[in-house]
Amino acid sequence: MRSRVRAAGHAVHPILIVFPLGLLTTSVGFDVLHLITDRVSFAFTAAHLVAAGVLLGVVTAVTGWLDWWLVVPPGTRARRIGLLHGLVNAAVLVLFALSWVLRLSADEWNPTWPALIASWLGLLAGGLGGWLGGELVERLGISVEEDAHPDASSSLSSSRR
């Protein structure tokens, strides 16, 4: 069950995910720095990191949905986990996009509390989405192992493959 969206022999989705994940996580760090220092440059940087992270997140999501649609067998645990992974990460993108929109009208990109809360919720949801993605790759072998185990038990259960 290797990924159909490949480049130079590797699945594209796991390669791309580091970019939106890094950008969006770093934006939250810059928001915290802005709260501590009140420096406008931190707020400005956070807003632009959010925009870049959401845009790259959409591109990354397309590759993930293609793999889910083309590779993961229907009726399997992997298909259910993949759907949940995609929906959670779509919610992450919506939360960060909302945060960005709320920053548009702000004076000098200073984030409002609703913008900050949307980003923080997006970061928390991103942790869950990342764990689900790890479950797909590390436990079930989706997109990386030809003879994947799409119905393996959860990594949280005491039973192993």
Give the separation between CA 7 and CA 82, rounded to whole angstroms: 21
Would you call 112 helix, strand, or coil by DSSP? coil
Q: How many CB atoms lie within 10 A of CB 123?
A: 19
Render pLDDT for 15-48 as a digit per residue (tens, 0 to 9).
Answer: 999 999 999 999 999 999 999 999 999 999 999 9
Backbone angles phi, psi at 22, to 5 degrees: -65, -45
CA 56 centroid distance within chain: 10
The mean pLDDT of the chain is 91
Identify which of 98, 95, 19, 99 has the alpha carbon closest to the alpha carbon of residue 61.
19
Is the entire prediction scored with pTM above 0.85? Answer: yes
Q: What is the pLDDT of residue 158?
A: 62
The mean pLDDT of 117-137, rounded to a whole number, is 96
In terms of Cβ atoms closer than 10 Å to its own Cβ (0-12, 13-18, 19+), residue 161 is exposed
Q: Residue ranges per domain, the chain? A: 6-139
